[in-house]
Amino acid sequence: MPKKRDFLARIGAKLDIPREALPGGFGLFMSGQNEIIVRGYRKILRYGREEIELSLGKTRLNIEGEDLFCTLLTAESVTICGNIRRLTFCAGEEYAH
């Protein structure tokens, strides 16, 4: 499986295809410090005013800040607004509650 992933990554790089367009990929778009759009997320693991954690497949994205709020949620993307202070990527597919 890792070989396949590497292969997709290499193909993407060769063909100049964005990573989030390939299976298993994701993308982040930040608009200032107050809005972040995450594409290719799998699941919301934790939801609170000061912390939101998203599963991105193999990794997890931890968003920390103040007054965090999910303003748009679709099957492909999630938009989070608020005063974002820190973004952390952690290894591990699922967050253990």
Partner 1 sequence: MRIDFRLFGYRTFAVREEDALAFLEECQRVGFVPKNPKRCEKTGEIRFAASLFERRKIRLLKVAVREVGTGGLPILFRRLIGRPGLIFGIAAALFLLIFSHLFLWDIRVSGCESITEGEIEEALAEAGVYRGAFLPRTEMDGAILSVREKDERIGYLSINRRGTVAFVQLREAKIETSREEVRPANLIATADGIVTLPMIYAGECLVREGDAVRAGQILAAGVTQSEKAGGNLTRAAGQVLAKTTHTYRVFVPFSYEAKTPEGRAKTVREIKFFNKTIKLYKNPPEKDEKCDIIEETRYFTFAGVKLPIAVHSIKKAPYTSVMRQRGEREAWQIAVKESETLLGAEKSAYAILEKSVAREVSAEGVTLTTTIVAEENIAAVAEIETK
Query: By the criterion CB under 8 A, which residues form the site for partner 1?
Result: 43-44, 46-47, 69-75
**Shortest distance, position 47 Cβ to partner 1, whole Å:** 4
- For partner 1, the closer of residues 13 and 72 by Cβ is 72
Closest distance between partner 1 and the C-beta of residue 24, in Å? 18
For the bound state, the minimum distance from the C-beta of residue 71 to partner 1, rounded and expressed in Å, comes to: 6
> Residues of 6-39 as b/e, b for ≥16 C-beta within 10 angstroms?
eebeeebeeeeeeebebebbbebeeeeeeebebb
Residues 6+ apart with CB under 8 A from 43: 54, 55
Tokens encoding 68: 């965090």
β-pairing verdict for 77-91 and 35-39: antiparallel
For partner 1, give the closer residue by CB, 7 or 70: 70
Pick between residue 14 and residue 74 the one whose CB is nearest to partner 1: 74
